[in-house]
């Protein structure tokens, strides 16, 4: 008895020691992680009812120390369906755009904090129904810019048709077209026209074909041969029609032949091999490369250079422009390709459209200069006002989708 009574204080101490020191330590190993809170799901605005935007407040335990691996997103079709995982975002992320929804269907969401293989679920969000909107107001800035550009083009077209003189700077590559065709005539060699390797759904190919119409008219007048190997069947039929019309316009329909345009292959390097072969065998006096070009640009242009042809190239592929500049006599850089047909036509209407295009450039220049100034002043401690201006100017040309 004495012994038990003597040990009682020690037992009490042992129990207190366990409660005060060991229990918290034990509980620490099993510590619960807080789930995210305030999960809100809302319809993504101004779309076709194809997205739901989800946002939540980060878990208080999400402190960037690696204790949380991320957030698992769960979704259920309201009201009875069970929740299934639809995505995962890393720690520190508090939003998610669900693009796998159907318009008109109701959805609920739940976000779970993921930590050491355990999931800690948030409250379930309110139901949301993705809807199709009538107008995409996110594109309002582009709509206004588009209106400005179209208005400028139409204004200058009407301005030009009233007989007002418009100044258009000389484009060397286009001035040289007649000279290049004349050279082929003198040498008695054919002209090679390559419209790129893209199909008729590419605006560069369309620009190339519009220029072909002008070139074909001169070719018909001078009675020389034009050879146009193409890599797309639709380009072949369109080009034939264009050349035929040009020959008819020149009063020489009998001189036209379908063989002027021939299909080679859709395959990029197969096409390049064939065109290189044609160049080396036929030795054209003039080569035109007008359209969309990729890795084949330099192979074609260097082969043309090696046979001593006058070469005029034009593309809107910025990565290929240096190759054409290095290897060709004249290069139409980007916008010049699109301006070519209007420039050569010398019609007031067409020239007016070029002037309208210049107004767009003026607008872009003004916005860039103001944006650079605002950003510079903002960086030098100019205050929130300049930061806001810079942000506003940046947003003007940004697609919000």
Partner 1 sequence: MRREVPLIITAVVGVIFVIQYFIPHAPFNQFNSWFSDWFAIIGACAIWLGALNLMRISADKIYRRRSGWGYAAIIIASFLLIATIGFAGGSQFRDPGTGFDWLYTWVYSPLSATMFALLAFFVASASYRAFRARNLEATLLLLAAFFVMIGRVPVGDAIGSFIHLPESLMPSKITIWIMGFINSAGQRAIMIGIALGIVSTSLRIILGIERSYLGGD
Contact positions with partner 1 (CB under 8 A) in 316-345: 316, 318, 321-323, 325-327, 333-339, 341-342, 345
Nearer to partner 1, 39 or 337 (CB): 337
Q: What is the largest CA-CA distance in the chain?
A: 133
Q: Residue 66 CB, nearest distance to partner 1 (Å)? A: 31
**Is residue 136 involved in binding partner 1 (CB under 8 A)?**
yes
CA-to-CA dists, residue 115 to 32, 34, 56, 123, 166, angstroms:
10, 10, 17, 18, 69
**Is residue 201 involved in binding partner 1 (CB under 8 A)?**
yes
Interface segment toward partner 1; rule CB under 8 A; list 63-71, 84-92, 168-176, 201-209 = 201-209
Of residues 298-317, those binding partner 1 (CB under 8 A): 298-299, 301-302, 316
CA 153 to chain centroid, in Å, comes to 24
Interacting residues of 226 by C-beta distance below 8 A, sequence separation 6+: 190, 191, 192, 193, 215, 216, 219, 243, 260
Give me the helix-helix angle, 172-187 and 335-345, nearest 10°: 70
Residues touching partner 1, count (CB under 8 A)? 89
Of residues 221-240, those binding partner 1 (CB under 8 A): 232-234, 236-238
Q: Residue 355 CB, nearest distance to partner 1 (Å)? A: 10
C-alpha 265/C-alpha 188 separation (Å) is 28
Q: Contact with partner 1 (CB under 8 A): which of 295, 376, 385, 394? A: 295
Instruction: Extract the tokens encoding 288.
Output: 């035109």
Helix (H, G, I), strand (E, B) or coil at 331: strand
The residue among 251, 172, 245 whose CA lies nearest residue 215 is 245
Of residues 364-383, those binding partner 1 (CB under 8 A): 364
Of residues 141-160, those binding partner 1 (CB under 8 A): 143, 146, 149-150, 153-154, 157
Nearer to partner 1, 122 or 205 (CB): 205
In the shown chain, the binding pattern of residues 345 to 364 toward partner 1, with x for contact by CB under 8 A and - for none, equals x-x-xx--xx-xx--xx--x
Q: Are 33 and 108 in contact (CB under 8 A)?
A: no
**Is residue 197 involved in binding partner 1 (CB under 8 A)?**
no
């Amino acid at each position: 008895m004495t012994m038990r009574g003597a040990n009682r204080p020690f037992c009490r101490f042992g129990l207190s020691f366990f409660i005060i020191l060991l229990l918290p330590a034990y509980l620490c190993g099993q510590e619960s992680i807080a789930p995210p809170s305030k999960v809100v799901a809302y319809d993504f605005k101004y779309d076709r009812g194809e997205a739901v935007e989800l946002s939540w407040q980060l878990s208080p335990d999400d402190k960037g120390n690696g204790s949380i691996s991320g957030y698992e997103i769960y979704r259920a079709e309201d009201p009875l369906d069970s929740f299934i995982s639809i995505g995962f975002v890393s720690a520190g992320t508090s939003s998610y755009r669900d693009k796998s929804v159907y318009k008109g269907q109701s959805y609920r969401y739940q976000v779970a904090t993921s930590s050491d293989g355990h999931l800690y679920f948030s409250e379930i969000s309110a139901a949301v129904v993705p809807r199709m909107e009538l107008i995409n107001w996110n594109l309002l800035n582009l709509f206004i810019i588009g209106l400005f550009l179209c208005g400028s083009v139409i204004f200058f077209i009407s301005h030009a048709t009233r007989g007002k003189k418009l100044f258009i700077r000389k484009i060397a590559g286009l001035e040289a077209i007649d000279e290049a065709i004349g050279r082929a005539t003198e040498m008695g060699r054919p002209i090679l026209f390559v419209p790129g390797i893209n199909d008729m759904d590419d605006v560069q190919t369309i620009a190339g074909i519009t220029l072909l119409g002008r070139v074909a008219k001169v070719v018909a007048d001078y009675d020389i041969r034009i050879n146009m190997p193409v890599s797309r069947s639709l380009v072949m039929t369109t080009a034939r029609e264009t050349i035929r019309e040009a020959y008819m316009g020149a009063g020489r329909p009998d001189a036209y032949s379908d063989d002027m345009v021939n299909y080679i292959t859709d395959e990029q390097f197969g096409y390049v091999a064939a065109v290189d072969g044609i160049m080396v065998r036929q030795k054209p006096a003039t080569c035109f490369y007008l359209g969309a070009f990729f890795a084949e640009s330099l192979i074609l242009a260097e082969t043309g250079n090696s046979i001593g042809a006058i070469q005029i190239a034009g593309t809107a592929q910025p990565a290929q422009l240096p190759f054409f500049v290095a290897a060709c006599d004249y290069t139409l850089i980007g916008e010049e390709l699109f301006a070519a047909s209007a420039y050569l036509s010398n019609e007031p209407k067409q020239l007016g459209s070029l002037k309208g295009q210049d107004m767009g450039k003026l607008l872009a220049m003004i916005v860039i200069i103001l944006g650079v100034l605002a950003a510079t002043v903002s960086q030098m401690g100019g205050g929130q006002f300049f930061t806001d201006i810079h942000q506003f100017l940046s947003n003007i040309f940004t697609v919000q989708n």
